[in-house]
Chains A and B, each alone.
Chain A
Amino acid sequence: MGVPVLIPDDRTIYRGLRNDNWSKNGAITYKAFMLRPADAQFPIEEELSLGMTPQTAVDELRTNAGIASLSVQAVHGLPHALAVRADLTNPLKAQMHGLPLFSTDPNRRALAIAVASDLAFIALFMAAPI
């Protein structure tokens, strides 16, 4: 299986807000862009799951607290070598590659919060589609 294609800069991608603490007063918080640790059910998260439409950003969530929309150009323009790539298993999904993995090591955690905060600053809150 090859490397998934890069999503073009003129597209917008969407992050479903799984938790209500992923936004506050209409602003997206850094927690929306932090990868999760491994648990008994899942391995450590390595890419951030995204939708190519608002609907596909939330369609696998049991509940949601809205959506964060991001310009792909703005994501690729951050100084973190992030890449928004197609999801090979679903053309209506995408993945963000290059985020720091979950860690409690202070330096790794610092970088993860900084990158996630940069993403939160360029993200716009949207209400979930009905």
Chain B
Amino acid sequence: MLLEAIGETAERNGHGDAGEPLPSHATVNAAMNLIAEVPFRLLADADISPFYGEIHLSWNVDNKQIVLMFFPNQRPLIHHYERAVGVASVHGIEPASADRLAYWLGWLRD
């Protein structure tokens, strides 16, 4: 189902946002190939959406968030974020791989 949803991002766009470029099939394929290598049990509750030609998959649990981004002409990235009340939030970004995504999705649910 997740792979189908990624595929559909190439055919739909954000509601009401005419003119935003759709992700290319190459971007969709890159997303599908990486996600196919990640254990399914870690991928639950993903939010999938296009973003100006990119594909974003995000996961939120309490104050933590993971955003996996696929670009038209660039290696995918993982952004990890933890909200901290009253002080600066903690976040970072790194190149995406199936192993690193699995690691960060595990961190999300720690």
Contacts and interface: CB of A to CB of B under 8 A. Distances in A.
Interface residues of B, number: 30
Contacts, number: 74
Contact of A64 (B16, B49, B67, B87): B16
Contacts of B74: 104
B91 interface: yes
B79 A19 contact: no
Interface residues of A, number: 32
A101 interface: no
A65 B93 contact: no
B106 interface: no
B77 A31 contact: no
Interface of A: 18-22, 24, 27, 29-31, 34, 36-37, 39, 41, 61-65, 79, 102, 104, 106-107, 109-110, 113-114, 117-118, 121
